[in-house]
Amino acid sequence: MKQGRFIVIVLDGFGIGAMKDAVTARPGDEKANTLRSILHDFPDMKLPTLERLGLMNAFGSESSCMKFSPDANYGKSNLMHHGADTFMGHQEIMGTRPQKPEIIPFQEKVDIVAAHLKEAGHKVEIINRDGLRYVVCDDYVTVADNLEADLGMCYNVTAPLDQISFDKEHEIAELVREVVTVGRVIVFGGTGNTMKDLYNAEEIRQGKFIGIASAKSKSYEQGYQCRHLGYGVDRNVQVPTILGKMSIPVILIGKVADIVYNDAGTSISCVPTPEVMDITYNSICDLKSGFVCTNVQETDLAGHSQDSAEYLKVLKQADEGLARILPLLNEEDIMVIQADHGNDPDIGTSRHTREQVPLLIYRKGLHGVHVGERSTMSDVGATCCDYFNAPKPQNGTSFLSELE
């Protein structure tokens, strides 16, 4: 096995300019540029580590305080997945070839889901409220519209985990996933709540969507567990599973631990950026060879809050964390800093933005390599597998040869 470390740090939502198709794919996003907006609000922004690694090179212009780095190894990447999504962005990074999901109210899938669950031997009840229906499976598992994302894009599978195990709930969700084509089936639950709490959290939106409002269901209050099941996502052709089958250590840190399968590795979920960077630092210290992927989520949260000051604060924390990590790396190691989509805090909406993302690459002793504009973020996953002489993931083209 190769005695080195391949490290990916995802600054969630840190885009560097709208994709060319944004005007038709997500009208309004053609004006998006997350980095430009933060620089507009804070022209004296200084991120010395990211500057050294080539952030402004990837951005394509300098600011008054941040300049091009002549020694940087860099490029940028387009998104292949449809829209601008953290979940699908990370599946793409891990080597998944994105499929286009459908937007469908759960009303149109109730009978198909109910029949499929019955065929698998489950007890199924259909709840009818004001002419809208949803499913209760095995007395404790609700299947209905997700009310938090864009309506019709996701379905929620929710249960009180004192009454049924998360593993059994997950099995039911996998069956739902088999027969629906929306972007995500989100399976979650908590302890300390009851079916009465779930029924009390019923809500109807726009007269055609019915679901269990997540926060009202009290699922988050204690014992929370969650898994996102994406459309067309096969863990067996993703980096963590491929490497895990070769007994190569895999460590996922931050939000990526919640949304990417890592059955043979270590997944550490946390949100505060200093903690995320500390765990990453310690993991690299303890790891002689293997794959580490970290998600810095609070950049994305600042974008959702439309708060460029908070965004800058988080970027500085991440930059300081990167400065501590760089001295740990040797000539064998490769680190990639990137994003998964944009989240422009000044565009006037709280949703993600369809932007290109930076690719900043560090390898001790390597200088001035430009990997160009990549068509998919899966190229990072393909490069990782190539680095470990592992089978290719489903999607992506390796750029490892350009780094050697």
pLDDT digits (tens, 9 = 90+) for 326-369: 999 999 999 999 999 999 999 999 889 999 999 999 999 999 99
Among 187, 211, 230, the domain-final residue is 230
Give the three-class secondary structure for 232.
Answer: coil
Q: Are 289 and 390 members of one domain? A: yes
Could you give the CA distance from residue 318 to residue 204 in angstroms, rounded to a whole number?
40
Given 230, 259, 285, the domain boundary residue is: 230
What tokens appear for 291 in the block? Answer: 């794959």
- Tens of pLDDT, residue by residue over 331-343, are 999 999 999 999 9
Q: Distance between CA atoms of 365 and 403, rounded to whole angstroms?
A: 10
In the chain the first and final C-alpha atoms are separated, in Å, by 17
Q: How many CA atoms lie within 13 A of 397 on its CB side?
A: 9
Report which secondary-structure segment, H or E, holds 141: strand 141-145
Say whether pLDDT at 126 is over 90: yes
User: Which pLDDT band, with edges at 50, 70 and 90, does 144 fall under?
Assistant: very high
Q: Are residues 122 and 237 in the same domain?
A: no
Number of helices followed by number of strands (H, E) in the chain: 14, 16
Q: According to the model, what pLDDT value does residue 64 have? A: 96
Residue 259 and residue 353 in one domain: yes
Burial of 82 from C-beta contacts in 10 A (0-12 / 13-18 / 19+): middle
DSSP type of residue 378: H
Residues 59 and 153 both lie in one domain: no
- Looking at residue 1, its pLDDT comes to 55
Structural domains in the chain (count): 2
The percent of residues in the chain predicted with pLDDT above 70, rounded, is 100
Torsion of CA 95, 93, 249, 190, to 10 degrees: -110
Q: How confident is the model at residue 149, as a pLDDT?
A: 80
Q: What average pLDDT does the segment 90-100 reach?
A: 96
Cα dihedral sign, 23-28-33-34? negative
How far is residue 300 from each of residues 95, 148, 272, 341, measured CA to CA in Å?
Answer: 22, 16, 12, 9
Question: Which residues have CB under 8 Å from 313's CB, separation 6+?
Answer: 302
Cα separation, 198 vs 392, whole angstroms = 43
Across the chain, mean pLDDT equals: 97
Closest CA to 171 of 187, 194, 156, 195: 187
Is the Cβ–Cβ distance between 49 and 326 less than 8 Å? yes
The stretch 271-295 carries a mean pLDDT of: 98
124 has a pLDDT exceeding 60: yes
Q: What is the pTM of this model?
A: 0.89
pLDDT mean over 122-127: 98
pLDDT at 148: 85
When pLDDT is cut at 50, 70 and 90, the band that residue 261 belongs to is very high
Indicate if 255 and 149 belong to the same structural domain.
no
- Long-range contacts: 280-284, Cβ < 8 Å, 24+? 280/7, 280/9, 280/253, 280/321, 280/325, 281/321, 281/324, 281/325, 281/328, 283/251, 283/253, 284/5, 284/7, 284/325, 284/328, 284/329
Beta carbons within 10 angstroms of residue 168's beta carbon: 16
Which ranges constitute the DSSP H helices of 42-191? 48-53, 55-59, 86-93, 110-119, 166-179
Confidence band, pLDDT 50/70/90 cuts, at residue 150: confident
Q: Which residue has the tokens 């490892």?
A: 400
- Strand segments, DSSP code E, in 171-220 are 184-190, 202-205, 209-212
CA distance 114 to 398: 43
Q: Tell whether the model's pLDDT for residue 89 goes beyond 90.
A: yes
Q: Are both 90 and 123 inside the same structural domain?
A: no
Q: Does 53 share its domain with 197?
A: no
Kindly state whether residues 83 and 181 are assigned to the same domain. Answer: no
Which domain, by its residues, includes 9?
Answer: 5-99+233-403
Residues 305 and 319 in one domain: yes
pLDDT band at 107 (very low <50, low <70, confident <90, very high): very high
CATH of the domain at 368: 3.40.720.10
Q: Which tokens belong to 356?
A: 């290109």
Q: What percent of the chain has pLDDT over 90?
A: 97
Measured distance CA(296)–CA(231) in Å, rounded: 24
- Assess whether 225 and 238 both reside in one domain: no
Final residue before a domain boundary, out of 213, 230, 247: 230
Q: Is the pLDDT of residue 222 over 90?
A: yes
Residue 183 CA to residue 155 CA, distance in Å, equals: 9
Q: Are 310 and 264 contained in the same domain?
A: yes
Q: Are residues 167 and 246 located together in one domain of the fold? A: no
What are 203's strand-pairing partners?
211
> DSSP strand E in 285-392: where?
290-296, 334-338, 357-362, 370-374
